[in-house]
Structure 1
Amino acid sequence: MKNIDLENKTLLVTGAAGFIGSFLTKRILESVKNCRVIGVDCITDYYDISLKEERLSMLSSFGERFAFIKADIADRSAMEKIFSENKISVVVNLAAQAGVRYSIDNPDAYIHSNMLGFYTILELCRHYPVEHLVYASSSSVYGTNKKVPYSTEDKVDNPVSLYAATKKSNELFAHAYAKLYKIPCTGLRFFTVYGPMGRPDMAYFKFTNKLVKGEAIQIYNMGDMYRDFTYIDDIVTGILNVMQKTPAETEDGAPYKVYNIGNNNPESLMYFVETLEKCLLKEEIITEPAKKELLPMQPGDVYQTYADVADLQRDFGFKPATPLSDGLAKFAAWYKGYYNKH
Structure 2
Amino acid sequence: MGKVLVTGAAGFIGFHLVKRLLAQGREVTGLDSLNDYYDVNLKLARLRQLEGNPRFRFVRGDLADQEAMDRLFADGEFQVVVHLAAQAGVRYSLKNPYAYADSNLAGFLTVLEGCRHHQVRHLVFASSSSVYGANTRIPFSVHHNVDHPVSLYAATKKANELMAHSYASLYGLPVTGLRFFTVYGPWGRPDMAYYSFTRAILAGEPIDVFNDGKMQRDFTYVDDVVEGVMRTMERIPSSDPSWSGDRPDPGTSYAPYRIYNIGNNRPVELMRFIEVLEENLGKKAVKNLLPMQAGDVPATCADVDDLMRDVGFKPTTSIEEGLGRFVEWYREYYGV
TM-score of the superposed pair, with normalisation by structure 2:
0.95
Distance 1:266 1:330 in 2: 19
Among 80, 85, 88, the residue aligned to 1:95? 85
> For 1:317, which of 309, 312, 315 is the aligned residue?
312
Tell me the equivalent position of 2:14: 21
Deviations along 1:220-279, one digit per CA (max 9) or x if unpaired, are: 111111000000000000000000111121336310000000000000001000001101
The Cα of 1:176 is off from its aligned counterpart by: 0.4
* One-letter identity of the residue aligned with 1:78: A
Name the counterpart of 1:149: 139
Normalising by structure 1, we get a TM-score of 0.94
Structure 2 equivalent of residue 331 of structure 1 = 326
Q: How far apart, in 1, do the equivalents of 2:134 and 2:267 lie?
A: 15
Amino acid at match of 1:139: S
Instruction: Give SS of 2:51's match.
Output: helix
Task: Tell me what 2:247 maps to.
Answer: none
Given candidates 98, 118, 125, the residue that maps to 1:135 is: 125
Q: Secondary structure at the match of 2:260?
A: strand
What's the offset of the Cα at 1:61?
3.6
What residue is the counterpart of 1:284 in the other structure? none
| Native 8 Å contact 1:144 1:303 kept in 2 | no
Match of 1:214 among 192, 198, 204: 204
- From 241, 256, 263, the equivalent of 2:231 is 241
Residue by residue, what CA displacement relative to the aligned partner does 1:158-212 show, whole Å, maximum 9, x if unpaired? 0000000000000000000001000000000000000001000000001011112
Q: Name the count of aligned residue pairs.
A: 325
Does residue 45 in structure 1 map to residue 46 in structure 2?
no
Give the conservation status (yes or no) of the 8 Å contact 2:217–2:270: yes
Q: Shift in Å at residue 85 of structure 1? A: 1.0
For residue 275 of structure 1, what is the aligned residue in structure 2?
276
What are the within-5 Å matches in structure 2 for residues 161-310 of structure 1? Answer: 161-250=151-240, 251=243, 253-281=254-282, 288-310=283-305
Q: Helix, strand or coil: the match of 2:173?
A: coil
**Structure 2 gap segments, 5+ residues each:** 244-252
- Whole-angstrom CA distance in 2 between matches of 1:85 and 1:217: 47
Q: Give the letter aligned to residue 44 of structure 1.
A: N
Q: Tell me which amino acid in the other structure corresponds to 2:268.
A: E
- How far apart, in 2, do the equivalents of 1:86 and 1:209 lie? 40
Q: Secondary structure at the match of 2:30?
A: strand
Cα separation, 2, equivalents of 1:289 and 1:86: 50
Aligned AA (1:77)? E
Q: What's the Cα RMSD here? A: 0.9
Letter in 2 for 1:306: C
**Are 1:132 and 1:246, in contact at CA under 8 Å, matched by a contact in 2?**
yes
Q: Which residue identity does 1:333 align to in structure 2?
A: E
Q: Distance in 2 between matches of 1:221 and 1:21?
A: 31
Q: How far does the alpha carbon of each residue in 1:266-318 deviate from its partner, in whole angstroms, 9 at most, with x for none?
A: 0000100000110111xxxxxx3111111100000000010000000001111
SS of aligned partner of 1:204? helix
- The CA distance in 2 between the partners of 1:184 and 1:163, in whole Å, is 24
Q: Which residue of 2 aligns with 1:285?
A: none
| Contact residue 216 and residue 268 of structure 2 kept, 8 A | yes
Q: Is the 8 A contact 2:201 2:285 kept in 1?
A: yes
What's the CA shift for 1:36?
1.0
The superposition leaves residues 1-42 of structure 1 with CA deviations (integer Å, 9 ceiling, x where unpaired) of: xxxxx2xx11100000000000000001102x3x31000000
In 1, the alpha carbon distance for the partners of 2:201 and 2:34 equals 27
CA distance in 1, matches of 2:104, 2:204: 36
Q: Is the 8 A contact 2:202 2:281 kept in 1?
A: no
CA contact (8 A) 2:104 2:156 kept: yes
CA distance, structure 2, for counterparts of residue 235 and residue 86 of structure 1: 26
1:157 Cα deviation (Å)? 0.4
Partner Cα distance (2:74, 2:212) in 1: 53
Distance 2:157 2:76 in 1: 28
Distance 1:86 1:23 in 2: 21
